[in-house]
Amino acid sequence: MGRPNVGKSTLTNAIAGQKIAITSSKPQTTRRAIRAIVNREKGQLIIVDTPGIHRPRTLLGQRLNDLVSSTLTDVDVIAFCSPANEKIGPGDKHIVAELEKYPRAKKIAIVTKVDTVSKVKLAEHLLDVSQLWDWKEIIPLSALTGDQVELLVDVVLGMLPQGPALYPDDIDTEETLEERICELVRESALELVEDELPHSLAVTLDEIVEGDVKPQVHVSLWVERDSQKGIVIGKGGSMLKEIGSTARVGIQELMGTDVHLAIQVRVAPDWQRNPKQLGKLGF
Ligand SMILES: Nc1nc2c(ncn2[C@@H]2O[C@H](COP(=O)(O)OP(=O)(O)O)[C@@H](O)[C@H]2O)c(=O)[nH]1
Ligand SMILES: [Mg+2]
């Protein structure tokens, strides 16, 4: 767990060795509790990448916080993440205060993005983190360089209860192909659009049609207002084209084949606050 943008999804992918959760420089992009299943000689680790915890401003925000709470009730270890290059603040303290609610789990702290700071800065940050809670472990690492990532895996595996593996060893995630395709389109759109718009985006899969040459993947990219539709499409469709070509690269890698990607931009009025629209979009 941790504030938005601290590197939770990037770390999940670094451990899994592939992109399971989308990542973004825009905060609050993870909208599901995504499970990555990691098999090592010593055992099986199921990482749950959660949406960042923050004060909810919309019904969507509230639902995501609820999702995080129900997930944390089930896990054996909770890892609180904070980036080395940002001072511990009220947002972090709010999250740490929540830890009381999950007495079952062992708590560790992860200091992310150590590649961005000096040794002195890192030492200061570690000290600040150590004063937040009586952590079982504090592990500084960088998901970008891979520094200490395997150490984290090893430490956490050592904290897990013994028992049979929960998943077969050839499964990487419970995310379906459909979900992963939608997330790749959303990731691409997130990076390309400006400012407030990222929060308004959602993606659903309409169908995958077996074409003569290659499969045709049809998705809908949802926005909240008509005015946003124009922004996402761009001048002469330029923005949409760019979103599509970036997403297509990831989808082709995922499906192991060339695909034709068709994106339809549609409006679901005020969907982040509207229970009916939220349901339609899968929340
Ligand atoms: N320099 C550096 N950047 C990182 C590292 N881990 C994540 N980031 C960047 O931080 C941003 C947020 O990452 P993300 O994993 O989406 O954060 P989340 O919201 O906590 O899931 C992205 O731009 C990442 O590229 C790291 O170890 N080093
Ligand atoms: Mg994330």
Residue 64 has pLDDT above 90, yes or no: no
Output the pLDDT for position 112.
98
Ligand 1 atom 9: residue of nearest CA: 7
The sign one gets for the Cα dihedral 2, 112, 185, 50 is negative
- Residues 12 and 106 placed together within one structural domain of the fold: yes
pLDDT at position 219 over 90: yes
Q: 148 CB under 6 A from ligand 1?
A: no
pTM beyond 0.85, yes or no? yes
Domain of residue 205: give its range: 177-280
Q: What is the mean pLDDT of the chain?
A: 93
Same domain, 151 and 204: no
Q: Which atom of ligand 1 is nearest to the CA of 3?
A: 20
Q: Are residues 185 and 84 in the same domain?
A: no
Confidence check: pLDDT of 116 > 90: yes
Tokens of 155: 């430490």
Ligand nearest to the CA of 95: 1
- If pLDDT is split at 50, 70 and 90, which confidence band does 229 have? very high
Where does the pLDDT of residue 65 fall: very low under 50, low under 70, confident under 90, or very high at 90 and above? confident
Banded pLDDT at 29 (limits 50, 70, 90): confident
126 and 185 inside one domain: no
Burial tier of 237 (Cβ tally within 10 Å: 0-12, 13-18, 19+): exposed
User: Is 167 within the bounds of a domain?
Assistant: no
Ligand 1, pocket-test mutation among 23, 115, 149, most atoms within 8 A of CB: 23
Residue 171 lies in a domain: no
Contact (CB, 8 A) for 37 and 15: no
Question: What was the pLDDT predicted at 31?
Answer: 85
- What is the 74 CA–ligand 2 centroid distance (Å)? 19
Shared-domain flag, residues 221 and 268: yes
Ligand 1 pocket test: which of 10, 31, 149 has the largest number of ligand atoms within 8 Å of its C-beta?
10
The band of 102, judged by pLDDT with boundaries at 50, 70 and 90, is very high
Q: Which atom of ligand 1 is nearest to the CA of 10?
A: 15
**Confidence at residue 184, expressed as pLDDT on a 0 to 100 scale:** 96
Number of domains in the chain: 2
- In ligand 1, which atom is closest to the CA atom of 27? 19
| pLDDT per position as a tens digit, 159-182 | 999 999 999 988 889 889 999 999
Q: In terms of domains, do 26 and 145 share one?
A: yes
Higher pLDDT residue, 56 or 276? Answer: 276
Of the given ranges (28-32, 45-49, 111-115), which has the lowest mean pLDDT? 28-32
Cα 229 to ligand 2 centre (Å) = 25
**Looking at the predicted structure, is the pLDDT value of residue 282 above 80?**
yes
Do 18 and 55 have their domain in common? yes
Residue-wise pLDDT for 72-99, tens only, equals 898 999 999 999 999 999 999 999 999 9
* Whether residue 203 is found in the same domain as residue 123: no
Looking at residue 69, its pLDDT comes to 87
Is the distance from the beta carbon of residue 12 to the nearest atom of ligand 1 less than 6 Å?
A: no
Residue 70: per-residue pLDDT: 87
Q: Residues 19, 135: one domain? A: yes
| Gap from CA of 198 to ligand 2 centroid (Å) | 13
The reply to whether ligand 1 has any atom less than 6 angstroms from the CB of 112 is yes
**Ligand 1 atom 10: the closest Cα is on which residue?**
7
Q: Over 90: is that where the pLDDT of 25 sits?
A: no
14 and 123 share one domain: yes
pLDDT of residue 18: 87
Same domain, yes or no: 85 and 205: no
Does some domain include residue 96? yes
Q: Is 50 in the pocket of ligand 1 (CB under 6 A)?
A: no
Residue 41, domain member (yes or no): yes
* Distance spanning both ends of the chain, measured CA to CA: 20
The per-residue pLDDT for range 118-156, each reduced to its tens digit, is 999 999 999 999 999 999 999 999 999 999 999 999 999
